[in-house]
């Protein structure tokens, strides 16, 4: 292909990639409120409810929910259109590769995608819920200063008013002015003006979580990226050996030092020694060993003689 033909091919792939990204983003814009937001916030809400805190996310500026809504739709749109975008990129790049190079990419690309998805699932279902719960329980373990001094020693002169406690909301119809406590979601409810008004109940400890929407979404996006990249470790190890940069025997002899570096990196990504740190560090150890195993496998070429 001439230079002009390469530029024309690049223009075609870019246009098709942009069209796929726009379609993926449009789908995510339609699903963000009722599907994507609940999926992203489920680990946080589950940890907050389990620790007895308000599961709501707050925002400090009027436009923040809309900005986060657009941001998360663009990110998820790129992820949804990812296979199509990778195909366009591959069709452009493959024209300039040798057959052996094309075979190498097509051979290990599925493994790379599988490792990426595995990293996201490990974070979402294991590391993130346990880490959030650990931090919330640690914060709720600090008592209020001088708490005993605020206890009234005098008995009440009137009988205390009791509020019914439900596992959820009472069955309709609701009467005007009806009040109750939702024991499952730890909130106080009152029905008036035709709708339910809610007051979330917090603990009496010194610290109380107040999580903002942009901070939480940014944290989850960063951790998803970190886990996805970290789980590419086997391919990185294999590439270093296949390219002749490092010898596999050297990597095996440096195993204990590599494990130490991995533990430091995992501690920076998730500074939770008790739970999340171990949940990232141990899989990375296994991924490093997987990389050594892939690098030790013999490489077969198309021009190798076929055994009789």
Whether the bond into 173 is cis, omega within 30 of 0? yes
**Quick check: 27 pLDDT over 50?**
yes
Least confidently predicted of 48-52, 62-66, 299-303: 299-303
Q: Are 169 and 189 in contact (CB under 8 A)?
A: yes
On average, the pLDDT of the chain sits at: 83
pLDDT, tens digit, 9 for 90 and up, residues 31-44: 999 999 999 999 99
For the record, the structure tokens of 208 come out as 């109380």
Q: Where are the domains of the chain?
A: 3-141+211-296, 160-200
- Separation in Å, CA 124 to CA 66, 119, 279, 306: 24, 9, 12, 46
3-state secondary structure of 250: helix
Least confidently predicted of 2-16, 189-203, 210-224, 292-306: 292-306
**What φ, ψ does residue 69 adopt, rounded to 5°?**
-60, -45
Report the relative pairing of strands 178-182 and 165-166 from DSSP bridges.
Answer: parallel
Higher-confidence position of 189 and 270? 189
**Quick check: 209 pLDDT over 90?**
no
With residue 182 as reference, give the H or E element that holds it.
Answer: strand 178-182
- The pLDDT score that the predictor gives to residue 274 is 56
Alpha-carbon Rg for the chain, nearest whole angstrom, is 27
pLDDT, tens digit, 9 for 90 and up, residues 145-169: 665 545 666 766 777 778 898 888 8
- The pLDDT score that the predictor gives to residue 277 is 73
pLDDT, tens digit, 9 for 90 and up, residues 234-272: 988 888 888 788 888 888 888 889 889 888 877 776 655
Percentage of residues of the chain with pLDDT beyond 90: 19
- The pLDDT score that the predictor gives to residue 266 is 76
Give the closest residue to 271 by CA, choosing from 219, 236, 212. Answer: 219
- The pLDDT score that the predictor gives to residue 16 is 94
pLDDT, tens digit, 9 for 90 and up, residues 60-81: 899 999 999 999 999 999 999 9
3-state secondary structure of 42: helix
- The pLDDT score that the predictor gives to residue 269 is 65
Alpha helices in 32-98 (DSSP H): 37-50, 64-80, 82-94
- The pLDDT score that the predictor gives to residue 26 is 96
pLDDT, tens digit, 9 for 90 and up, residues 84-117: 998 898 888 887 778 887 888 888 888 888 888 8
Q: How far apart are CA 244 and CA 127, in angstroms?
A: 35
Percentage of residues of the chain with pLDDT beyond 70: 89
**Quick check: 54 pLDDT over 70?**
yes
- The pLDDT score that the predictor gives to residue 63 is 93
Q: Are 136 and 48 in contact (CB under 8 A)?
A: yes
């Amino acid at each position: 292909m001439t230079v002009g033909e390469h530029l024309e091919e690049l223009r075609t792939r870019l246009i098709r990639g942009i069209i796929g990204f726009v379609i993926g983003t449009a789908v995510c814009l339609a699903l963000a409120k009722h599907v994507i937001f609940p999926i992203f916030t489920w680990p946080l809400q589950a940890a907050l409810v389990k620790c007895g805190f308000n599961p709501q996310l707050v925002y400090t500026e009027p436009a923040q929910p809309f900005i986060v809504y657009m941001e998360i739709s663009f990110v998820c749109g790129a992820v949804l259109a990812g296979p199509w975008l990778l195909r366009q990129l591959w069709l452009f790049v493959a024209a300039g590769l040798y057959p052996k190079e094309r075979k190498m990419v097509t051979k290990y690309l599925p493994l790379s995608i599988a490792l990426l998805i595995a990293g996201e699932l490990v974070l979402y279902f294991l590391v993130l819920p346990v880490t959030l719960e650990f931090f919330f329980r640690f914060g709720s373990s600090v008592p209020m200063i001088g708490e005993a001094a605020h206890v009234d020693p005098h008995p009440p002169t009137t009988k205390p008013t009791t509020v019914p406690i439900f596992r959820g909301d009472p069955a309709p119809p609701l009467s005007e002015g009806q009040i109750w406590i939702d024991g499952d979601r730890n909130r106080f409810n009152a029905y008036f003006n035709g709708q339910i008004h809610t007051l979330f109940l917090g603990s009496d400890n010194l610290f109380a979580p107040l999580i903002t929407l942009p901070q939480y979404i940014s944290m989850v996006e960063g951790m998803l990226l970190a886990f996805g990249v970290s789980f590419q470790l086997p391919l990185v190890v294999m590439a270093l050996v296949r390219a002749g940069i490092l010898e596999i025997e050297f990597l095996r002899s440096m195993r204990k030092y590599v494990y130490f570096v991995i533990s430091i990196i995992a501690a920076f990504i998730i500074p939770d020694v008790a739970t999340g740190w171990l949940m990232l560090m141990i899989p990375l150890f296994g991924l490093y060993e997987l990389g050594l195993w892939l690098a030790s496998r013999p490489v077969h070429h198309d021009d190798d003689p076929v055994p009789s």
